Amino acid sequence: MKKFSKIALSVAALGLFIGGCAVVNGSSDITPESLSLRKAPVHDENIKIQKVNYIKAAPGQAKTFERSYVNAPPLIPHSVEGLVPITKNNNACLGCHMPEVAKAMHATPIPKSHFMNFRPTEVIAKDGKLIKKGRVVAKVNGGANDVYATPTHGKLYPGRFNCTQCHIAQSDAKPLVKNTFKPDFVTTKEMESSNLANTFDQGVDTTK
């Protein structure tokens, strides 16, 4: 009985495989092009990149966008021509977005979270053991995965130098799929600024 069941299952699986291949090969409405959001056969890597138009407004003259969700990296509302590529030693964004000049430049200031080091520094103790150095702001799992946050005293944390890693310029590109997501902002301030530095440990057990 068990041997017969295994044979039956194998035959059924083979039938599904053959049937699936037939569907993909055009015997149904499902085509190779419809299996991908890029509307190209899955075996074809000759992708034609969609041409889009990016915002051409100059910095300081553009209207900012509402954030996609709470603490989402805001979209860049102005042209980035001449500002990219960004390197560790050449970052034109800082000229307008550093907190001390942002208000005068009518720019969104870089948030406090970008001036914090969330990675503990490992140092070698006298006994040769690696220890983690930094200010623990939240205890997790009895100390096994403590949350660290060390202020960088007004200097942008080096790991945040590449602004376009998270922030992108807005374009007229059409979404590949319909998006019905609606953000749930607690306050109107959350629509235009970040409070991540004050809430990153929200829900973390700090009593252990």
Are residues 167 and 82 part of one domain?
A: yes
Query: Which of these, 145, 144, 148, 151, lies nearest to 136 by C-alpha position?
Result: 148
Number of neighbours of residue 111 by Cβ within 10 angstroms: 20
Q: Is the pTM of this model over 0.75?
A: no
Which positions of the chain have pLDDT values less than 50? 1-9, 11-12, 14-19, 22-24, 26
Regarding whether 56 and 149 lie in a shared domain, the answer is no
Among 145, 151, 168, 144, residue whose Cα is nearest residue 112:
151
Residues 99 and 129 in one domain: no
Report pLDDT digits (tens) over 144-172: 566 677 888 889 999 999 999 999 998 88
Q: How many domains does the chain have?
A: 3
Looking at the fold, whether 71 and 106 belong to one and the same domain comes out as yes
| Full residue range of the structural domain in which residue 27 is found | 2-35
Residue 196 within any structural domain of the chain:
no
Phi/psi for 164 (5° steps) reads -75, 5
